[in-house]
Amino acid sequence: MKVSSNGKTQSKCARLKALIYDPKILVVPGVFDGFSCRVVQAAGFEHAAISGAGTSESRLGKPDVGIMGLEDNLAGARAMASCVDIPLLADGDTGYGNAINVYYTVQAFERAGVAGLMIEDQKWPKRCGHMAGKEVIEADEMVQKVRAAVDAREDPDFIIKARTDAAGLLGIDEAIRRANLYAEAGADLLFADALLSAGDIEKFVKNVPKPVAVNMGFGIRKRKTTPLLSVKQLESIGVAFVNLPRMLTAAAIRGMMNAIDAFKQSMESGEVVERPDLVVSFEELNDLMGFQEIMAMEQRYLTADQLGSKYGAKEAAEK
């Protein structure tokens, strides 16, 4: 909980809702594990969005093509939500079935500690919005899914983000039509994936009644898909929420590749090579993970004998 300006505590859901409806654009890094969540929070961001693709790729080593099911997704979200104080918005894919499944999916994610959930109108098995081979369900079926999601939430501030993948398949006008239906059904945040131009983004924003989310790359340009725009450009268009779902996953993979390559070179040369430019220190890692909090808890809760056994009598007395 955080204290608002009026002195009252705010739930994570209420904090996220306030950020979305704030006139200032909300910049949202995508996260996929405990490391990325901790990094985003330590960098001062007020919110993060769990990448379904990143979760599937990091937990299962499988692409975002509907191989990851509810339980794997839920377990990842629960672990991430528990390790940081900032509110997280999870990716619920298609809701794993019909509107009834969506109802229980929303309940499960809300109880896991996230502050909102995205549901999309793809057919199952879904896939990343920038991959070929997507299919969408009928709009009226998705409307019922949104209605079920809204009814399922216990906290009225829990965010329901409705995503449509219709733009690339059926055109921008159909994406707008669907988004309006989803807004009418109660969605709080609207997202049309894989829009093909800045003009399409602006047209979508101007023709829907709720805050709009847009996904952006960070130095990652995909062919025949959403152009890269700056945060200032998106804010001037009227976008409320910009997500960078692939930035940290792509950066993590590149960082691991660079470290492995450097180590392989040291193996071939037979020399010991230190590359502090490629890795964080042991101390930095422990600080990021909150080890000092654990040390403080030990001082509060462990007995003198336990501390002495762990650290020695002299060291325990000094701690």
pLDDT tens-digit series, residues 92-145 = 999 999 999 999 999 999 999 999 999 999 999 999 888 888 999 999 999 999
* Terminal CA-CA length for the chain: 30
Listed residue (99, 226, 116) closest to 161, CA to CA: 116
249 close to 35: Cβ distance less than 8 angstroms: no
DSSP letter assigned to residue 122:
B
Q: Which residue has the tokens 């999601």?
A: 149
Question: What are the b/e assignments for 99-115, b being 16+ CB within 10 Å?
Answer: bebbbebbebbbebbbb
Same domain flag for 191 and 288: no
Q: Is position 107 within any domain?
A: yes
The answer on pLDDT for 7 being more than 90 is: no
Same domain flag for 164 and 37: yes
The answer on pLDDT for 218 being more than 50 is: yes
Report the C-alpha gap between 103 and 112 in whole angstroms: 15
Same domain flag for 16 and 86: yes
Question: What are the b/e assignments for 65-83, b being 16+ CB within 10 Å?
Answer: ebebebeebbebbbebbee
Tell me, what's the pLDDT at 36?
98
Domain range for 287:
280-319
Same domain flag for 125 and 187: yes
Domain boundary among 218, 245, 272: 245
Work out the pLDDT band at 222, boundaries 50, 70, 90: low
Q: Is position 255 within any domain?
A: no
Tens digits of residue pLDDT in 272-286:
888 999 999 999 999
Same domain flag for 182 and 290: no
Q: Where does 57-215 show beta strands of DSSP type E?
A: 88-91, 116-120, 159-164, 189-192, 212-215
Tell me, what's the pLDDT at 293?
95
Q: Is position 267 within any domain?
A: no
Report the C-alpha gap between 138 and 105 in whole angstroms: 20
Report the C-alpha gap between 225 and 234 in whole angstroms: 16
CA 201-208-127 angle, 5° bins: 60
Same domain flag for 208 and 319: no
Residues listed for the chain = 319
Domain CATH for 231: 3.20.20.60
Tens digits of residue pLDDT in 35-90:
999 999 999 999 999 999 999 999 999 999 999 999 999 999 999 999 999 999 99
Tell me, what's the pLDDT at 3?
40
Domain boundary among 191, 226, 245: 245
Helix (H, G, I), strand (E, B) or coil at 303: coil
Helix (H, G, I), strand (E, B) or coil at 25: coil
Same domain flag for 195 and 291: no
Listed residue (126, 123, 125, 124) closest to 136, CA to CA: 123
Count of other CB atoms within 10 angstroms of residue 315: 11
Tell me, what's the pLDDT at 1?
41
For the residues 199-214, what does the mean pLDDT come to?
A: 98
Same domain flag for 232 and 302: no
Same domain flag for 90 and 171: yes
Domain boundary among 245, 264, 292: 245
Q: Is position 241 within any domain?
A: yes
Give the total number of structural domains in the chain: 2
The answer on pLDDT for 199 being more than 50 is: yes
Same domain flag for 295 and 205: no
pTM of the predicted protein model: 0.92
Same domain flag for 40 and 177: yes
The answer on pLDDT for 306 being more than 70 is: yes
Tokens standing for residue 24: 């200032």
Same domain flag for 74 and 201: yes
Q: Is position 205 within any domain?
A: yes
Q: Where does 138-196 show beta strands of DSSP type E?
A: 159-164, 189-192
